[in-house]
């Protein structure tokens, strides 16, 4: 288990991380999402002990991570800007990481290179961005650490390769309880792989929830009321985050469970109503708008 307890970090008086507390359970896929500049990469660097927090702590299986070799041996960190030795090839990088991680699976690594069409003897500096990303992901998976911490994991990968990597993640989670932690602004990529999501905004955590629980607690309702009196009854009993009106059709984004909303609307006189789950992207938009963020500035992958 990874625990972030009251983390704070500032740079030149600017607060990058503001009192973040999150728990990441073993054997799950944890997604860290947020607006641009929300602090995702800084949190990753605090989590991996690259940066020392101004206050608060990071514990990996109960041990502090900063300046602790024992804790750092439990994870493999893939940064957004991965580094390879200047003239190295894939075989050179395997030798290097094998010396750092005693459980590195060399057989699986070379099998994966063949499957992904990567030449073990070719200089990495001749690889495309996507090929470099594939290589570092395969090195991270084959390091056989308990945790795989990734900043923008799928950036630069084509859809087929993305699905291949996700399939390997799923296999490793089932086989050895691998725990991937993935930071991204690409909500669609996280929605079909993550079990739990932490939503960052301006250096703080807006929410940290199980994805299925999150989808069930924020809903979209499309409805047409028989009259204004029925609409007023509905709105009085709903926790409304957003109301889009097109003619007589109301599309509400609300907090609440499916059962609560169904019970309310079956007691009202409506011409039509339908309760729909929101996508992770829609939930993200709703939460950041409530926090006062200008949604037009968001960039989705």
pLDDT per position as a tens digit, 152-174: 877 778 888 888 988 898 888 88
Cα–Cα distance measured from residue 82 to residue 117, given in angstroms and rounded to the nearest whole number:
20
DSSP reduced 3-state for 185: coil
Residues 142 and 245 in one domain: no
DSSP category for residue 217? H
Cα–Cα distance measured from residue 69 to residue 41, given in angstroms and rounded to the nearest whole number:
21
Q: Where does a domain end: 152, 187, 211?
A: 211
pLDDT at 271 over 90: yes
pLDDT of residue 26: 87
pLDDT of residue 290: 65
Residues 136 and 244 in one domain: no
pLDDT of residue 217: 80
In this structure, what CATH number is given to the domain that contains residue 95? 3.40.50.300
Residues 59 and 38 in one domain: yes
| String of DSSP letters for 248-291 | TEEEEEEES-HHHHHHHHHTS-EEEEEEEEPPHHHHHHHHHHHT
Residues 229 and 202 in one domain: no
| Total count of domains within the chain | 2
pLDDT of residue 301: 42
In this structure, what CATH number is given to the domain that contains residue 260? 3.30.70
CB atoms within 10 A of CB 145: 21
Least confident of 56-70, 84-98, 208-222, 250-264: 208-222
pLDDT band at residue 123 under the 50/70/90 scheme: very high
The tokens of 78 are what? 């893939």
Helices (H) and strands (E) in the chain — how many of each?
A: 11, 14
Q: What is the dihedral of CA 101, 107, 113, 115, to 10 degrees?
A: -140
Q: Give yes or no for a contact between 203 and 40, defined as CB atoms under 8 angstroms apart.
A: no
pLDDT band at residue 37 under the 50/70/90 scheme: confident
Q: Where does a domain end: 211, 230, 251?
A: 211
**Mean pLDDT, residues 68-72 taken together:** 91
Residues 67 and 186 in one domain: yes
CB atoms within 10 A of CB 293: 18
Residues 286 and 198 in one domain: no
pLDDT of residue 292: 61
The tokens of 77 are what? 């960190």
Which among 147, 205, 206 has a CA at the least distance from the CA of 25? 147
Cα–Cα distance measured from residue 203 to residue 3, given in angstroms and rounded to the nearest whole number:
17
CB atoms within 10 A of CB 101: 17
Residues 92 and 172 in one domain: yes
Q: Give yes or no for a contact between 206 and 57, defined as CB atoms under 8 angstroms apart.
A: no
Q: Domain span at residue 133?
A: 2-211
pLDDT band at residue 83 under the 50/70/90 scheme: confident
DSSP reduced 3-state for 21: strand
Residues 203 and 221 in one domain: no
pLDDT of residue 293: 59
pLDDT of residue 121: 95
Q: Where does a domain end: 185, 211, 237?
A: 211
Residues 123 and 232 in one domain: no
Cα Rg of the chain, angstroms:
22
pLDDT at 283 over 80: no
Residues 183 and 39 in one domain: yes
DSSP reduced 3-state for 182: strand
In the sheet that holds 249-255, the strands lie side by side as 239-246, 249-255, 218-225, 270-277
pLDDT at 294 over 80: no
Residues 106 and 243 in one domain: no
Least confident of 32-41, 75-84, 185-194, 291-300: 291-300
Which pLDDT tens digit goes with each residue over 94-118? 999 999 999 999 999 999 999 999 9
Residues 68 and 118 in one domain: yes
Please state, rounded to an integer, the average pLDDT across all residues of the chain.
Answer: 87
Q: Give yes or no for a contact between 105 and 178, defined as CB atoms under 8 angstroms apart.
A: no
Which pLDDT tens digit goes with each residue over 203-253? 777 777 787 777 778 889 999 999 999 999 999 999 998 889 999 999 999
DSSP category for residue 135? H
């Amino acid at each position: 288990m990874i625990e972030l307890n009251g983390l704070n970090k500032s740079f030149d008086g600017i607060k990058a991380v503001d009192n973040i507390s999150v728990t990441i359970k073993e054997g799950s896929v944890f997604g860290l999402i947020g607006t641009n500049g929300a602090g995702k990469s800084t949190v990753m660097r605090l989590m991996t002990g690259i940066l020392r927090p101004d206050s608060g702590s990071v514990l990996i299986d109960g041990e502090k991570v900063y300046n602790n070799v024992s804790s750092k041996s439990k994870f493999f960190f893939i940064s957004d800007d991965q580094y390879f030795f200047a003239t190295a090839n894939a075989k050179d990088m395997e030798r290097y990481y094998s010396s750092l991680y005693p459980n590195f699976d060399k057989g699986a690594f070379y099998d994966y290179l063949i499957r992904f069409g990567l030449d073990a003897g070719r200089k990495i500096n001749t690889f495309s961005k996507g090929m470099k990303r594939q290589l570092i992901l395969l090195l991270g998976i084959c390091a056989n650490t308990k945790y795989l911490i990734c900043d923008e994991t799928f950036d630069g990968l084509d859809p087929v390769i993305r699905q291949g990597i996700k399939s390997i993640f799923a296999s490793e989670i089932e086989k050895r309880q691998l725990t991937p932690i993935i930071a991204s602004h690409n909500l669609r990529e996280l929605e079909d792989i993550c079990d739990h999501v932490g939503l960052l905004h301006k250096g703080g955590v807006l929410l940290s929830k199980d994805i299925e629980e999150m989808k069930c607690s924020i809903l979209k309702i499309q409805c047409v009321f028989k009259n204004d009196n029925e609409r007023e009854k509905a709105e009085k009993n709903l926790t409304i985050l957003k109301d889009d009106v097109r003619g007589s059709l109301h599309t509400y984004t609300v907090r609440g469970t499916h059962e609560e909303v169904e019970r309310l609307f079956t007691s009202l006189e409506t011409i039509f109503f339908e309760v729909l789950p929101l996508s992770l992207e829609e939930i993200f938009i709703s939460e950041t708008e409530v926090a006062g963020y200008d949604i037009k500035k968001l960039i989705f992958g």
